[in-house]
């Protein structure tokens, strides 16, 4: 990925991928490969829409201007895999992917290519957001739309910095269109202050929702408040975590699907449980960039070839420890994992693989996936509120909200069963363990687990249970800064232990 020095040189190339020929009705349906120059851009309302669309595009986009052959978007194939591997939920099976092997065994170093990809793509997204935030206010256009677009850019910038500060700790806080070639790192406190400011500004500017079919994947006020609740949860500001989670709950914009299986159907994309997701392109979707997701290729087992499924590689799979956390009749286990294949000579059993993102009816051959990556969904917010309520001593509320999620796990597709009982009478410490486990089962392979283990101080305790012989160290509560960046910028330094 680009260093800050190279980032300045290539900024015009990044900006030149912004979208043209936008319309207010179909915000995310334009082709982001059209080329423009910065001198004739940011003149019209269409330019403003296109500029913000380009920020969204980098959440799932293959990088046209990659360095060293790395071609991956922020969430496309690296971020969520990294977070899963560096925890107790995921193992690597991708031949030749030494970077992923290192993450799974906690032997990764600053030279790990995944660090470069994540760092570079987050800062590329931030760069485009900074330019949009600086230039869109000067465009003569509809005031409400202008404010909303700036709010979307601030939401995306806040989300990117939230990922960066949790992963790397102190990071450069770049907020202007033109930043120093060799920036210094901002303190963790300063970065979090900016995240809160961006997300609060976004919440005030963004709508509750959009017209059906035209806004899937766009940030809303609910998305900003939901991420804010997680920011405060991470900071152990329980009161504010509860306040912002409750804003989302009380907005009545979201609800759980009755059946856990419905959460990941293609027909559910942008539906009632989705608060903010990264969309991937398909001919019938509201988001039509040129990318498709890698869920099927990465996660489905090669054994599915016996059922005619093509190109399933099984590159990453769950630990047995994760699979064994579920009660046998927990609906989430049946939906999340595949353990049996229907071969020509009858069914046979395999180790667990993750299949929850695979809508077999719509994508029977596997191959590329059109499913969304769920950055945050309603079940997550309910668990955030339950956790915060427990820490505040609101025991009954805590139990009520975690049990709302548990109730869904009892639904077997046609009726409710008693296999997943409600939690009752837990002490505060017992509830902490329960909600951490519940998050593990509810949010399988959603890019959450390392963050949860780090913020609860459980990384060193839980990983060896899932990966015998693998023991994280204190240094693994942060990732190393990419060595390329450290070498080019003496102001950065390296995280302790690396």
Average pLDDT over residues 136-151: 97
Residues 238, 241, 243, 248, CA torsion sign: negative
Helix axes 221-234, 378-391, angle to 10 degrees: 40
Residue 1 CB: number of other CB atoms within 10 A?
24
Q: State the CATH number of the domain containing residue 154.
A: 1.25.40.390
pLDDT at residue 294, rounded to an integer: 87
Please tell me the predicted confidence (pLDDT) of residue 291.
61
Q: What is the largest distance, in Å, between two alpha-carbon atoms of the chain?
A: 68
Let me know: does 273 contact 378? Beta carbons within 8 Å.
yes
Give domain status of residue 230, yes or no.
no
Q: Is residue 441 part of a domain?
A: yes
Number of structural domains (the chain) is: 2
Q: Residue for token digits 């459980």?
A: 458
**pTM across the whole model:** 0.91
**Nearest 10 degrees: CA dihedral of 170, 176, 177, 178?**
-70
Q: Write out pLDDT tens, residues 358-377.
A: 999 999 988 888 899 999 99
Query: Per DSSP, what are the bridge partners of residue 269?
Result: none
53 and 178 part of one domain: yes
Q: How far apart are CA 321 and CA 91, in angstroms?
A: 11
Residue 149 confidence (pLDDT) above 80 = yes
Same domain, 273 and 181: no
Q: What is the pLDDT of residue 61?
A: 64
Task: Assign 420 to helix, strand or coil.
Answer: coil
pLDDT band per the 50, 70, 90 thresholds, residue 421: very high
Q: Is 345 exposed, middle or buried (0-12, 13-18, 19+ CB in 10 A)?
A: exposed
Average pLDDT over residues 273-277: 96
- Do 172 and 274 sit in the same domain of this protein? no
In a shared domain, residues 72 and 186? yes
Q: What is the pLDDT of residues 211-254, one digit of tens each?
A: 876 778 899 999 999 999 999 999 999 999 999 999 999 999 99
Helices 395-409 and 428-442 pack at an angle, to 10 degrees, of: 30
52-87: pLDDT as tens digits: 998 998 887 654 444 334 445 678 779 999 999 999
234 in a structural domain: no
Q: Are residues 264 and 201 in the same domain?
A: no
Residue 32 has pLDDT above 70, yes or no: no
Considering the domain architecture, whether residues 267 and 370 belong to the same structural domain is answered as yes
The verdict on residue 241 lying in a domain is no
Predicted local confidence at residue 13, as pLDDT:
38
The predicted-structure confidence for 373-399, as pLDDT tens digits, reads as follows 999 999 999 999 999 999 999 999 999
Q: How confident is the model at residue 38 (pLDDT cuts 50, 70, 90)?
A: low
pLDDT band at 438 (very low <50, low <70, confident <90, very high): very high
- Check if the beta carbon of residue 456 is closer than 8 Å to that of residue 150: no
More confident residue, 166 or 282: 166
Residue 186 phi, psi dihedral angles, 5° rounding: -85, 150
What token pair was written down for 404? 């709302």
Give the range of the structural domain holding residue 301, as residue numbers without chain letter: 250-467
Split at pLDDT 50, 70, 90, the class of 496 is very high
pLDDT at 19 over 50: no
Based on the domain organization, do 139 and 280 belong to the same domain? Answer: no
**Residue 162 shares a structural domain with residue 258:** no
Return the bridge partners of 338, or none.
353
Left (φ > 0), alpha (ψ -120 to 50) or beta: where does 366 sit? left
> What is the pLDDT of the chain when averaged over all its residues?
88
Task: Assess whether 484 and 436 both reside in one domain.
Answer: no
Rounded to an integer, what distance in angstroms lies between the CA atom of residue 10 and that of residue 13? 5
> Is 212 part of any domain?
no
Domain contains 329: yes
* pLDDT tens digits along 176-217: 998 999 999 999 999 999 999 999 999 999 999 998 767 788
* Nearest-angstrom CA–CA distance, 360 and 357: 9
* Domain assignment present for 461: yes
Let me know whether 96 and 121 are in one domain. yes
Q: What is the pLDDT of residue 386?
A: 98
Concatenating the DSSP letter of every residue in 159-228 gives: HHHHHHHHHHSSEE---SSS--SSPPEEPHHHHHHHHHHHHHHHHHHS-S---TTT-TT---HHHHHHHH
Rounded to an integer, the average pLDDT of 150-169 is: 98
Asked whether residue 229 is domain-assigned, the answer is no
Given a contact cutoff of 8 angstroms between Cβ atoms, the answer to whether 3 and 489 are in contact is yes
pLDDT over 60 at 3, yes or no: no
Q: Which two tokens stand for residue 429?
A: 């410490």
* pLDDT of the residue at 287: 45
Q: What is the pLDDT of residue 211?
A: 84
* Crossing angle for the helix pair 378-391 and 238-250, to the nearest 10 degrees: 140
Q: 315 and 198, same structural domain?
A: no
Q: Same domain for 286 and 192?
A: no
């Amino acid at each position: 990925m680009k260093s800050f020095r190279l980032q300045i040189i290539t900024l015009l190339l990044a900006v030149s991928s912004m979208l043209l020929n936008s319309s207010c009705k179909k915000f995310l349906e334009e082709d982001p490969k059209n080329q423009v120059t910065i001198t004739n851009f940011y003149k019209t309302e269409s330019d403003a829409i296109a500029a913000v669309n380009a920020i969204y595009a980098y959440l799932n986009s293959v990088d046209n201007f990659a360095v060293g052959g790395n071609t991956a978007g922020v969430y496309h194939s690296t971020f969520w895999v990294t977070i899963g591997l560096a925890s107790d939920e995921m193992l690597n099976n991708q031949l030749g992917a030494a970077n992923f092997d290192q993450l799974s065994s906690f032997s990764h170093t600053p030279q790990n290519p995944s660090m470069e990809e994540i760092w570079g793509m987050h800062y590329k997204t931030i760069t485009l957001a900074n330019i949009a935030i600086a230039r869109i206010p000067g465009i003569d256009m509809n005031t409400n739309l202008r404010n909303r677009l700036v709010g979307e850019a601030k939401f995306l910038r806040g989300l990117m910095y939230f990922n960066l500060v949790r992963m790397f700790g102190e990071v450069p806080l770049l907020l202007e269109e033109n930043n120093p070639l060799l920036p210094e790192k901002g303190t963790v406190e300063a970065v979090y202050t900016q995240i809160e400011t961006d997300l609060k500004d976004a919440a005030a500017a963004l709508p509750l929702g959009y017209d059906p079919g035209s806004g899937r994947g766009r940030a809303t006020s609910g998305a900003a408040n939901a991420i804010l609740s997680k920011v405060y949860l991470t900071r152990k500001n329980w009161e504010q975590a509860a306040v912002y989670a409750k804003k989302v709950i009380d907005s009545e914009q979201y609800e759980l699907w009755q059946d856990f299986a419905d959460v990941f159907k293609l027909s559910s994309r942008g539906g009632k449980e989705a608060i903010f997701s990264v969309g991937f392109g398909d001919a019938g979707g509201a988001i039509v960039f040129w990318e498709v997701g890698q869920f099927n290729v990465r996660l489905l087992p090669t054994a599915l070839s016996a059922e005619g499924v093509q190109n399933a590689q099984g590159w990453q799979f769950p630990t047995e420890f994760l699979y064994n956390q579920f009660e046998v009749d927990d609906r989430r286990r049946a939906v999340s994992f595949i353990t049996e294949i229907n071969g020509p000579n009858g069914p046979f059993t395999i180790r667990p693989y993750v299949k929850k993102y695979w809508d077999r009816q719509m994508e029977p051959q596997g191959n590329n996936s059109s499913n969304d990556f769920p950055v945050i969904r309603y079940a997550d917010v309910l668990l955030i509120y339950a956790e915060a309520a427990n820490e505040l001593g609101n025991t009954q509320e805590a139990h009520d909200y975690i049990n709302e999620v548990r109730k869904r796990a009892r639904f077997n597709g046609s009726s409710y069963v008693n296999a997943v009982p409600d939690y009752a009478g837990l002490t505060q410490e017992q509830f902490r363990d329960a909600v951490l486990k519940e998050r593990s089962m509810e949010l399988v392979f959603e890019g959450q687990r390392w963050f949860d283990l780090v913020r609860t101080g459980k990384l060193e305790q839980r990983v060896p249970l899932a990966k015998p012989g693998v023991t994280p160290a204190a240094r693994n509560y942060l990732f190393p800064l990419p060595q390329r960046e450290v070498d080019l910028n003496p102001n950065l330094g390296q995280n302790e232990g690396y």
